[in-house]
Structure 1
Amino acid sequence: MALAVIAMVPEGDREGSATDTLPAGADSTLAVELADRLPEDEGQVAIVLWTADSGELDQAVQGELAEQAVALLSQAGGQGAPQGEQGGPPPGTPDSGGAPQSPVVVAEDGTAAFVAVPVTSTSATDNIDRVEKLREDLRDDAPDGVTVEVTGPAGIQADIGQVFDGADFRLLLATAGIVAILLIITYRSPVLWLVPLAVVGIADRFAAIVATNVLEVTGVAWDESTVGILSVLVFGAGTDYALLLISRYRDELKTTDSRHEAMAHALARTTEAVISSSTTVVLGLLTLLLSAIPTTRGLGLACAVGVVIAATFALVVLPAALVLFGRWVFWPKVPRVGDAVLVDSRGVWRRVGDAVAKRPRTFVVGTVAALALLAIGTTSITTGLDPADQFLQRPEAISAAERLGESFPAGTSDPVQVLTRDTPEQVLGAVEDVDGVDSARITTTGDGIARIDAVPDAAPGSDEARDVVLDVRAAVADFDTTHVGGGDAEALDAKEYAASDRLLILPLILLLVLGALLLLLRSIVAPLLLVATVLATYAAAMGASWWLFQGVFGFEAMDTGVPLLAFLFLVALGVDYNIFLVTRAREEAREHGTRQGMLRALTATGGVITSAGILLAAVFAVLGVLPLVVLAQLGAIIFVGVLLDTLVVRTVLVPALALTLGEKFWWPRKVTGPTAPAES
């Protein structure tokens, strides 16, 4: 059925909107909504910048540029607004001599010139195509000795969009490759790795189709990164569940001749853990539906659908596939009846457990101190990326914006946009009086709405530019239907609403995770400790990653949305491994007591959970193949956090806590049975 859906049903259609990534109800969002109602909405603006390779642009070249600009504006069906201190009447109107004024604005030193061209597009893909066509045409027509570049909001959005051109395939290829390599290393079999990889690969494509169609039907927005992150999550979670099941199935094959009976026993012992962990992840993801940002809500819903599908394939499709192929699929290490099972082995994980058991309190203090030391880095984290800092590789729009700022007022490439239904002249007067505004003019009017572009004398993304936005908002605060937008206004609102999202969603995620653990373990102490450990892991991962960002990668800030998404994935996915370990410890404790139960659980699950953690960390690191800082940061934090959780917290801290507390770890429930040995 899944293959039929993949073959016959396309992914859902995404109809992007300018407000998809903006917080609902924010001032900048209301400004965009007003701009959309203008009768001749010109869409985003692309700024065409011409720069002399040496010397100045002479009069002949300036005349040629003016002709090109007039043609561009004619094709666009609108007129560009000169931006900067040159001022003057709107382009195309007669000057004092009766001749039409050139739409091109020339720098005072004559080395550069620009024109603002509206780019009307129906989607992000359409915007990319239009901007690229504009760039190609301009380069073909550029005068000798002149370099032409395109920047402005339309140019920046096109360059961001190009990052995702073919991204889904690159992510899928890299993710599948990483999973394949790690499965081969884990199983050391030329055959076995193909089964979970094929099952999870089908689940991934099925999830992409189902999730995007659910988003389309429900009207929830999503962006270009959603399917890529969904794919990474499905591969990571699905393979984790597969590793857990296959490990238990291999052990059961050593106790019975019937592969069907072995699988039935394996499913009976892993289903609870998989369902509990996947339910926890799904509930955590669904909290993103409370976010103020539409695309964040879409990511949460899509990933929740993906995890449900990943768990279903792991518990339904994978068992059938494994039983179908029989024991030989494990070749060359085919499990035989009578072989030693993992829990009775004296391998590395038993030796780790024995070391922790000798001095559990020392290990608790040591690991907590190490995590606290790493968490110190969180005290210096700053959020909010400048436009120039959003890319790992600097695209044309960013370099052109910087060059534009050298010859014209610094904010020329991204002016503050004031949309109003009030008296435009009065609003304009208030804006012009703001310190830090180099120039302001009414650029568009119609249907009772006016747009005013105010050019700051500070570079876009700088603290000074955002201070200008705040001052403009204060200046127009007395006008009832006036809203302030533009890139810096949107960044300010995104930062404010991201903080509000964290205050609302983070505690809810913790409550849901705690509730799931309380229901699963029917204990109070163990769930509280497990939640505390994943919180410690998150803080340590954030702190360590921030030091990496500053000292190694040179990132000036963290994207405003990263802390929330990193928290969600680390807490929800991190608790998975604790669930896998603790449910096995509870099972073993019934017969062997808490001390031996935890040691036996660590011995039995150590290899598979470590493999799963390394695999999940590597899969999320794949997000770095896309040259966007936000995805690189998210992938790096999850990579560090999952490794900490797998190699330190689950291996050392949780067992040490259980060994220190003994039977109190399960309080108020009594886990050990009447035949279990007394705890020493």
Structure 2
Amino acid sequence: MRTAPRRARWLVPLVLLLVWLGVGGTLGPYAGKLGEVATNDQASFLPQSAESTQVLEARAAFAQAETLPAIVVWTADGARVTEAQRAAATESVGALAGSPGVVGRPSPALLSDDGQALQAVVQLEPGLDEELPAVLGEVRAAAQQVPGTEAQIAGPAASQADLSDAFAGIDGLLLGVALAAVLVILLLVYRSVLLPFVIILGSVFALGLACAVVYALAQRDIVQVDGQVQGILSILVIGAATDYALLLAARFREELAVRGDRAAAALVAVRRSFGAITASAATVALGLLALLASDLTNNRALGPVGAIGIVCAVLTTLTFLPAVLALLGRTAYWPTRPKASDASAEGHPVWLRVAARVNARPRFVWLVTGLVLTALAAFSPTLSAKGVPLDEIFVNDAPSVAAQETVGRHFPGGSGNPAVIIADADRADAVTAAAKDTEGVASAGAVSASGRPGAGEPQVVDGRVRIDATLDAAADSDAAKETIERLRENVHAVPGADALVGGYTAQQYDTQQTAAHDRTVIVPVVLGIILLILIVLLRSLLVPVLLVATVALNFLATLGVSSLVFEHLLGFSGTDASVPLYGFVFLVALGVDYNIFLMSRVREEALAHGSRQGVLRGLTTTGGVITSAGVVLAATFAALMVIPLAFLVQIAFIVAFGVLLDTLVVRSLLVPALVIDIGPRAWWPSVLARGDSRPEEEPQTADRRPA
């Protein structure tokens, strides 16, 4: 009768292992295929309610398909451009008409006011994606045929190509760097050869499964994926899977030292870690799903994509890892061996000293740490989220940036990339006049059937006309966005015109405004979700409120430090509009993760040993594993810095620094000191609030009973 259960104890782990090996072998390649379904077209992420989106739709009625402008600029070797060079430039780009990817006929080469540069606009199809570099190569080859000049390509097409180059190989490069960082840290911390590889293998299986699901959804247009979401998914899954695996492996080590039986130890480790792991995963997954309330479709895409990744990470942690640990037993920790002391509450000497300091002067500890964090948080309002100018989007030099700087030296900054106004035809003159009178507008004119402004009678479609307004400032600059505000105000004020303002700069402005609105909606939702989960898990009201307040303070302190670092060390004049929201979701959700790991263990110990001893025992027993998990997560997010884009560098710094600050200060000092100082009342209205049920000084951990 005992043979069947004994066989089942080994058969179940073996079957689970074989299933995951099959999943990894079948779905693993999808971790490198998300780029096939990714798009980096920012305009596609705006909501339908945005004015620039409405202009895109109205513009289609003019039989002028939405295009991606490539601005070709020539500068002469001599002081001034000759007439022969101007004719050659017009002829060279004119020959591109009818070429694959080129829309219509390129504009003639226009001479700058200073006579030192030429400019022509080649309109490209907007959905070229993988074909874009080849098409731009043809444009560049044609432009270089003008003797005695240097040709460069600027504009949205060149920027998008450089963006694609930055994301090229993101799957392999980012994954390799992240896994290497995790492996090195685990080898150094745990001094075990086999366990780090088991944990990494589980995270790779989770990533493969997540990417396969996301790939299938993106193929069916259920979610949209861009390079940023693609990179964040890889880092999020690897970091989360490793964190959860470390918690389970540490608990398995404790149980194995007490019980000796591998299968029983694995089962008990899963049972006692299940609540903390699932609650932690729920905070992150639901926090990400709160992004569904965003008006930006790339934010909405990150919500379900990230939640899918978290679910897959939990799945591998609670199935694959216990199965392997049950089969390997003590061998998983070779060359070290779990011993009875691993199951005690004594912990590492470092954490014993930390616990002693917190226990001796809890009020002093939380006051000092709270004041330091508050002082850092005071700098958070100085973080500018108005967007990153084009010359800062790429961390390294990019050809499109250098070309745009050349354009800016010789032509109005918005040349080749005008603001697009759609208005009623009978009010075209009044709208054009209002546009010309707007501060920051260099010129404006109604577009003719040829597609050029001011080159004949305006084209009228369904009683509407299109007016192009060239801005003085570069299309991506703050000054251009301010001009869009003034331009909208002026043309909206024209009676009966029903004017709308769109174009590239308007899209950037609308993205910025939508991101600000998203923050006001999503931040309270995320905080509410996390608070509710903590209340259910800890069966208390005050402790959850304290935990949410501390991670929120940690987030603000991180923003304050980031503002100083970005401006004075990294040279960023601003951050992407989505950076504060992404940073908030990741830091608050992941910060609560570590507090859940700590406080769920504290509650378990407090039920047996009283509130004060529960905090101290929880701190010493979880100190090592949580710190290791924090370092691993910080390292995985720091891996985003290998992608030379300001957005990802900023996200990487905010999350990596914030996680370390949370792990080493908030979770280690602030939270334990607060709970000790408040005493049992912190657990109201649970049974723990009635007073300690055990003496304050008790040398052993909670009783361990065989499963």
Q: TM (normalized to structure 1)?
A: 0.92
Alignment of structure 1 residues 416-565 onto 2, 5 Å: 416-420=419-423, 422-423=425-426, 424-443=428-447, 444=451, 445=459, 447-448=461-462, 450-477=465-492, 478=494, 479=496, 481-565=498-582
CA pair 438-138 structure 1, distance change in 2 beyond 3 A:
same
The correspondence for 2:202, drawn from 188, 199, 204, is 199
Is 2:252 aligned against 1:249?
yes
- Is the contact made by 2:167 and 2:643 (CA closer than 8 Å) also made in structure 1? yes
- 3-state SS of 1:452 partner: strand
Q: Would you say 1:349 and 2:351 are equivalent positions?
A: yes
Tell me how far apart the structure 1 counterparts of residues 208 and 240 of structure 2 sit (CA, whole Å): 14
* AA partner of residue 105 (structure 1): L
Task: Decide which of 153, 156, 164 is 1:153's aligned counterpart.
Answer: 156
Match of 2:366 among 347, 353, 364: 364
Tell me the distance in 2 between the aligned counterparts of 1:291 and 1:137: 43
Q: Report whether the alignment pairs 1:330 with 2:333.
A: yes
CA contact 2:615–2:675 (8 Å) conserved in 1: yes
2:633 paired residue number: 616
Q: Find 2:234's aligned residue among 224, 228, 231.
A: 231
Q: Does 1:26 align with 2:50?
A: yes
Per the TM alignment, residue 80 of structure 1 is displaced from its structure 2 partner at its CA by: 3.8
Compared CA separation, residues 310 and 339, structure 1 to 2 (3 A): same
Whole-angstrom CA distance in 1 between matches of 2:629 and 2:62: 53
1:98 maps to what in 2?
Answer: none
What whole-Å deviation, never above 9, does each CA across 1:576-623 have from its counterpart, x for those lacking one? Answer: 000000000000111111111111111110000000001111111111
**Using the alignment, how far apart are the partners of 1:77 and 1:355 within structure 2?**
70
Aligned to 1:632: 649
For structure 2, list consecutive stretches of 5 or more residues without a partner in the other structure.
Answer: 1-21, 452-458, 699-707
Contact 1:51 1:146 in 2 (8 A): yes
Distance (whole Å) between structure 2 residues aligned to residue 212 and residue 296 of structure 1:
17
The answer to which of 6-15 and 107-116 deviates more is 6-15
Moved more, 486-495 or 71-80: 71-80
Supply the AA of the counterpart residue of 2:439: D
Whether the aligned pair in 2 keeps the contact of 1:222 and 1:294 (CA below 8 Å) is no
Q: Is the 8 A contact 2:37 2:225 kept in 1?
A: no
Aligned partner of 2:109 in structure 1 is 104
What CA deviation, in whole Å up to 9, does each residue of 1:499-525 have, x standing for no partner?
110110000000000000011111011
The equivalent residue for 1:45 is 69
Q: Give the letter for the 1:356 counterpart.
A: V
Q: Which residue of 1 aligns with 2:27?
A: 6
Selected match of 2:136 from 131, 152, 163: 131
| Cα shift at 1:645 | 0.3
Aligned-residue sequence identity (percent) comes to 38
Distance 1:440 1:130 in 2: 30
Change (3 A) 1:119 1:446: farther
Q: CA separation in 2, counterparts of 1:235 and 1:319? A: 18
Letter in 2 for 1:271: F
How far apart, in 1, do the equivalents of 2:694 and 2:233 lie? 44
Taking a change above 3 Å as real, the CA distance of residues 341 and 42 of structure 1, as seen in their structure-2 partners, is closer
Aligned to 2:105, which of 79, 89, 107?
Answer: 79
String of CA shifts for 1:112-135, please: whole Å, max 9, x gaps. 101111011424333344224422
Aligned mates of 1:586, 1:667 — CA distance in 2: 12
Residue 402 (structure 1) aligns with? 405
Give the Cα separation in 1 of the matches to 2:664 and 2:211. Answer: 31
Taking structure 1 as reference, are residues 209 and 137 closer, same or farther at Cα in structure 2, changes over 3 Å only?
A: farther
* Alignment match, 1:67: 91
- Contact 1:45 1:116 (8 Å CA) reproduced: yes
| Aligned residue number for residue 15 of structure 2 | none
CA distance in 1, matches of 2:394, 2:357: 46
Displacement of 1:464: 3.2
Secondary structure of 1:559 counterpart: coil
1:225 is paired with a residue of what secondary structure?
Answer: helix
CA separation in 2, counterparts of 1:228 and 1:551?
27
Distance 2:369 2:178 in 1: 31
1:412 maps to: 415
- Structure-1 separation of matches of 2:694 and 2:224: 54
Query: Is this contact kept in 2: 1:20–1:221, CA < 8 A?
Result: no
C-alpha displacement of 1:6? 0.8
Partner of 2:615: 598
Check 1:77–1:491 CA distance in 2 against 1; reply closer, same or farther (3 A cut).
closer
3-state DSSP of counterpart to 2:469:
strand
Residue range with higher mean Cα deviation, 556-565 or 159-168: 159-168
- The number of aligned residues is 656
1:212, 1:302 within 8 Å by CA — same for their partners in 2?
A: no
1:667 aligns with 2:684: yes
Q: Which amino acid aligns with 2:441?
A: V
Counterparts of 1:480 and 1:161 in 2: how far apart (Å)?
A: 39
User: Which residue of structure 2 lines up, in the alignment, with residue 35 of structure 1?
Assistant: 59
Deviation at 1:161, TM superposition (A): 2.1
Does 2:122 match 1:120? no
**Matched residue SS, 2:395:** coil
Q: CA deviation at 1:340?
A: 4.2
The 1:558/1:13 distance shift into structure 2, 3 A limit, reads closer
Match of 1:641 in 2: 658
Match of 2:622, as an amino acid?
T
* Residue of structure 2 equivalent to 1:93: none
1:656 to 669, 673, 681: 673
2: CA distance between counterparts of 1:340 and 1:73? 74
Contact 2:29 2:208 in 1 (8 A): no
Change (3 A) 1:58 1:271: same
For the residues of structure 1 that align with 2:44 and 2:60, how far apart are their CA atoms?
A: 13
Contact 1:350 1:600 in 2 (8 A): no
Aligned partners of 1:491 and 1:18: how far apart in 2? 8
| Distance (whole Å) between structure 2 residues aligned to residue 252 and residue 579 of structure 1 | 20
> Deviation per CA, 1:86-139, whole angstroms, max 9, x where unpaired?
xxxxxxxxxxxxxxxxx1101233221011110114243333442244224434
Equivalent position SS for 2:445:
strand
Indicate the RMSD between aligned Cα atoms, in angstroms: 2.2
Deviation, structure 1 residue 72: 2.3
Q: In structure 2, how many angstroms separate the alpha carbons of the residues matched to 1:560 and 1:8?
A: 33
Residue 91 of structure 1: aligned partner:
none
Deviation at 1:328, TM superposition (A): 1.2
Residues in 2 aligned to 1:322 and 1:552: alpha-carbon distance in whole angstroms = 45
Task: Verify the 8 A CA contact 1:383 1:559 in the aligned structure 2.
Answer: yes
Give the CA deviation at 1:471: 2.1
Mapped pair 1:173 → 2:176? yes
The yes-or-no answer on 1:55 pairing with 2:79 is yes
1:84 corresponds to? none
State the AA in 1 paired with 2:673: A
Distance in 1, matches of 2:364 and 2:356, equals 14
Cα distance in 2 for residues equivalent to 1:481 and 1:494: 22
TM-score when scaled to structure 2? 0.89
Range 398-407 or range 512-521, more displaced: 398-407
- Residue 230 of structure 1 deviates from its aligned partner by 0.3
